[in-house]
Structure 1
Amino acid sequence: MKKKWKPSASIKDLMKRSKIIADIRSFFLKKNIMEVETPILSQSGVTDVNLMPFITNYFSFNDNIKKKKLWLITSPEYHMKRLLSAGSGSIYQICRSFRNQEFGQYHNPEFTMLEWYQLSCSMEKMIEEIDFFFQKILNFNKADKISYQEVFMKFLKIDPLSTSLSELFQCYKKFNLKNLIYLENDLNQLIENIFTLQIQPFLGKEKPLFVYHFPSEQACLASINKKDSRVSERFEIFFKGIELGNGFHELTDYFEQRKRFIKDNRKRCDMNLPEQKIDDYFLDAIHHGLPTCSGVAIGLDRLIMIALNKNSIDQVMSFSFERS
């Protein structure tokens, strides 16, 4: 008899999950940070070449039948920043997010995101806040910190801020990754790939590790460091070799953000990916004035998986993709 009707997580573990989420809400309530809800359906997509959103259609039967394309959000970031620009103050959200072509031990096409924005907060201060959050909610040990440049030097003896294609090709050959070199004369993509394959699995073995100052080419929606334009005010959190979150000191420059979106779409065309509609509502909000802030997006399923000492996220989800 097929048993796929049953939850992928045990009821006991779902009760533990519920307790962790309740504790998270209590944490933010005590800090007087407002919980918000924003749309799951968006009228625009995301240009990030690493994200593949789900697309659906809205049909109106008033007058003439009309069809409107909509995107399921890959994160609530754009809508939450619109709230920040409207004067919400520091905010957080626990919500469902959706990413196509992502399924496996640490991925599910539909997953739970914790997104948090703190006003008047530097990247360094945000790292401290998240570290305290982990210690308070999940009893994690105090985290370590290392820069992106330092972690490359530690594991690969390569400086990612000044390396060359020839040096990276030699590194790929050393680790028998020659089959991946075909990609690229894209220096940044080679750096990202070798980080994922040869550095990330070894990060945060005993306690969480923050890797900060990602290269400016990987800034996404982060501001650029004022002292060294080669690096951005972006960080990621790792524990037991798993990425738990991605954070920024947020970019507030309308013109720079628009330029990045256009650059993303050009890269999409080069990679034969569909060009994405730029979110003008989001850009208008930045133009109006996004306050100085830092933010982080944390994969809640992964976090709970580690907290409950499980091997995959389906063990902490009521129904994984295969049982949906």
Structure 2
Amino acid sequence: MPLNDQQRARLEKIRELRAQGIDPYPARSSRTLTAADAVARFAELEPHLGGEPDPEPVTVAGRVVSIRDMGGTVFSHIRDSSGSIQLFLRRDAVGPEQLAWFKRYIDLNDFVEADGHLFRTRTGEISLQVTALRLLNKAINPPPDKWHGLTDVETRYRQRYVDLMTNPATREVFVTRAQVIRAIRRYLDERGFLEVETPTLQPIYGGAAARPFTTYYHALDQTFYLRISDELYLKRLIVGGYDRVYEICKDFRNEGIDARHNPEFTMLEFYVAYADYRDIMQMCEELIVFAAKEALGTLLLPWGSHTIDLTPPWTRMSFREALLRYTGIDFLAVTDQPTLYRLARELGADVRPDTVWPRILDELLKTFVRPALIQPTFVYDYPVALSPLAKRKPDDPRLVERFQLFVGGLELANAYTELNDPLDQFYRFLEQARDRARGDEEAMPIDEDFINALMYGMPPTGGFGLGIDRLVMLFTNRQTIREVILFPQLRSKPEPLGLTEDLQPYLDLVPGVQDSLACEDSPTEANSA
């Protein structure tokens, strides 16, 4: 879309500033205090100032978010990442020329830097009485029509920078996200875990049931995959001799996009030697409680119309009990695919006739069990066919030592007592291969190198995976995963912004470009000849 009148007016102001010898994009700032620090400084000094301004000059800087022109006085708020502060420009303090310059050249969205003295206005607001002001960045785009918040959802996701600029609640979500990740690292680091990094590009994908993204590695002349999980590499590290390892990483799954799924997402995985799924269940509870206290300061979380209480201990329920309670199906008694398919369809599950038995179970769990689990609930002891990397229960080889954590109808975590028998693991891979041949695109391929690693020996190990994005959804009461990912995947828009052609006439405003353009337009000696 073409440049609008406001954008063209701002570009002309850039032209005028350049003509005055003023760089609208200087490289440096002399800020001495953030907005929050400036306000805090005056609040601390005020009792000792006797109603006078702070005699010590300070310099603040930030984006202009409001301007009120009162004739001989201008009130303007600027904002930085710490908060906002009001600038007070009075003709007799800054001089008539500086005040007129501000009114002519400063617009909303510009970045400015102001020197002055802190004081409190008659209305009670801590402000900066400006003595000098400089432009730090001339914004060409004005803010959205409603400065109080960008409301179009798709635009908020596509232009997250505008969303962050205009919606304080959005900024707070990502502050909370950072606090959650910091708390998770602190919990694990204090308990002797080693943070590691494993490959994002993998020759064989594994560690989860998912369809991968495929790419081609030209230097190696080989097809590679974006990882769907880092599990198999982390367990190789347990084989190698580390007892406690973790990674917070990006995973990629070539699947649909909905309120709970984004093809690129963030996972925490950790592995503990000489532990089983009961130990990991306890650690999971402790970790999430610790993160909630650190990031939120409370264990009571608003979630839609519910209030979730994270106070331990959390409910524990076997997979068999959960499925019986919410579907009436005993999967230990219904072991053939046709019968399970018929029962699932009678309940209204969305499964195709060729869906393999374990995928039908998984769909029943997602459709009927998960939405009912609002308060924190561990569902444990899964069928072996659903868990190709988990250890069988010694007293019932049809089941594995696995649990999932559900909160607010979200699946947050998945954990096992890890399978460390290389022959059993090889058999499970073969079972996956058979499911793949039957049409299950999410079944894992055989990873012979991982089998080889297990043949060197892996101690009893507990493993754990936590969806960081979904945990942040829960902690910030956001009902869609796109709200907690800074730049979520979106379908490309059919029409570009159209800036390439519209900005061409203004390239002469860039220092040095005018000479370059003149050289390009001039005929070369060869052409002249």
Fold shared per TM-score above 0.5: yes
Q: 1:19 aligns with which of 162, 179, 183?
A: 179
Partner of 1:300: 468
Partner of 2:434: 266
Q: 2:328 aligns with which of 129, 134, 157?
A: 157
Deviation at 1:323, TM superposition (A): 8.1
Larger Rg: 2
Are the aligned partners of 2:211 and 2:441 in contact in 1 as well (CA < 8 Å)?
no
Letter of the structure 2 residue corresponding to residue 282 of structure 1: F
Distance 1:92 1:248 in 2: 15
Partner of 1:63: none
Note the 1:34-73 alignment, pairs <5 A. 34-46=194-206, 50-60=209-219, 67-73=221-227
Q: 1:289 aligns with which of 457, 470, 474?
A: 457
Change (3 A) 1:164 1:87: closer
Deviation at 1:293, TM superposition (A): 0.7
Letter of the structure 1 residue corresponding to residue 370 of structure 2: Q
Deviations 1:170-225 (A, max 9, x none): 64354344x736335x443333322221122111x1x2111000012222200000
Partner of 1:180: 351
Distance 1:46 1:113 in 2: 15
Partner of 2:364: 194
Note the 1:73-112 alignment, pairs <5 A. 73-112=227-266
Unaligned runs of 5+ in 1: 61-65
SS in 1 for 2:462: strand
Deviation at 1:16, TM superposition (A): 1.3
Partner of 1:231: 399
Distance 1:305 1:282 in 2: 34
Change (3 A) 1:275 1:95: closer
Deviation at 1:229, TM superposition (A): 1.5
Is 2:464 the counterpart of 1:310? no
Note the 1:104-253 alignment, pairs <5 A. 104-138=258-292, 139=299, 140-142=310-312, 143-163=314-334, 168=340, 171-172=343-344, 174-177=346-349, 180=351, 182-184=353-355, 186-203=356-373, 205=374, 207-253=375-421
| Count of paired positions | 314
Change (3 A) 1:260 1:23: same
Deviation at 1:83, TM superposition (A): 0.7
Distance 2:329 2:438 in 1: 28
Letter of the structure 2 residue corresponding to residue 309 of structure 1: N
Distance 1:183 1:169 in 2: 9
Letter of the structure 2 residue corresponding to residue 54 of structure 1: F
Deviations 1:70-106 (A, max 9, x none): 1111011111111110001111110111100232111
Letter of the structure 1 residue corresponding to residue 204 of structure 2: S
Deviations 1:278-311 (A, max 9, x none): 3222222111111211111111100111011111
Deviation at 1:277, TM superposition (A): 5.1
Are the aligned partners of 1:269 and 1:275 in contact in 2 as well (CA < 8 Å)?
no
Change (3 A) 1:21 1:215: same
Distance 2:394 2:353 in 1: 35
Are the aligned partners of 1:219 and 1:233 in contact in 2 as well (CA < 8 Å)?
no
Letter of the structure 1 residue corresponding to residue 361 of structure 2: I
